[in-house]
Amino acid sequence: MKEETVQHGAALDNRITIRALESSDMDAFADIMSLPGVRRGTLSVGYRSAEQLKTWYERRLKDGVNVCATIDGHMVGHAGLEVQRPSRAHCAHLGLAVHDAYHGRGVGSALLQGLTDCADASLGLRRIDLTVFLDNAPAIALYRKFGFVEEGRSRGFAMRDGILADVLHMARLVDAPRLQPI
């Protein structure tokens, strides 16, 4: 995936750059995944070491796309598509995390724009799904902005703060392109 720069005017004075996640990013990635807001807002296990994330990244890289958002060379977010296998090769599962200090400043939008563009234009994906905590209104609004719709809810889906929390299952479907007449 080529590097893209997205300018977000009033939302963020700095430039957000979206690029492929690299193994050298694992320390910064581990720092983001250990932040209180990221741990509470994602279904990921927090406090993973850079080495654990590197192992996860190398395994997942074979079947997906992982990008990060940087501002002035510092990682402020991560998003990935885990592409499914044979009968679901048109599908991917989305994961996204934004540094606590950069919520609501365009980072999530830049990450989703980069991944959905890649999914549509390069990977031929027709379905992207995700799972989000029911009370994560900012994330749900972001996903809706990019065409994700609610497909269902699961009660007591994940443990968060010692309590079973409910989630939404959302997906974005894209129709297969129609062939143009010759």
Closest alpha carbon to 6 in 87, 84, 77 = 77
Q: What mean pLDDT is predicted for residues 92-118?
A: 96
d(Cα 80, Cα 71) in Å, to the nearest integer?
Answer: 18
Predicted TM-score (pTM) of the model is 0.86
Residue 67 phi/psi, 5-degree rounding, is -125, 160
**Is the pLDDT higher at 91 or at 179?**
91
Q: Give the pLDDT confidence of 24-51 residue by residue, as tens digits.
A: 999 999 999 999 999 999 998 778 888 8
Residue 92: beta bridge partners? 83, 128
In sequence order, what are the residues at sequence separation of 6 or more whose Cβ sits closer than 8 angstroms to the Cβ of residue 59? none
Q: Which CATH superfamily hosts domain 4-173?
A: Gcn5-related N-acetyltransferase (GNAT) (3.40.630.30)
Domain boundaries, the chain: 4-173
Q: What is the pLDDT of residue 98?
A: 97
Residue 175 phi/psi, 5-degree rounding, is -65, 145
pLDDT band at 64 (very low <50, low <70, confident <90, very high): confident
d(Cα 172, Cα 103) in Å, to the nearest integer?
Answer: 22
Contact 42, 56 (CB under 8 A): no
Residue 7 has pLDDT above 80, yes or no: no
Q: Give the pLDDT confidence of 65-85 residue by residue, as tens digits.
A: 999 999 999 999 999 999 888
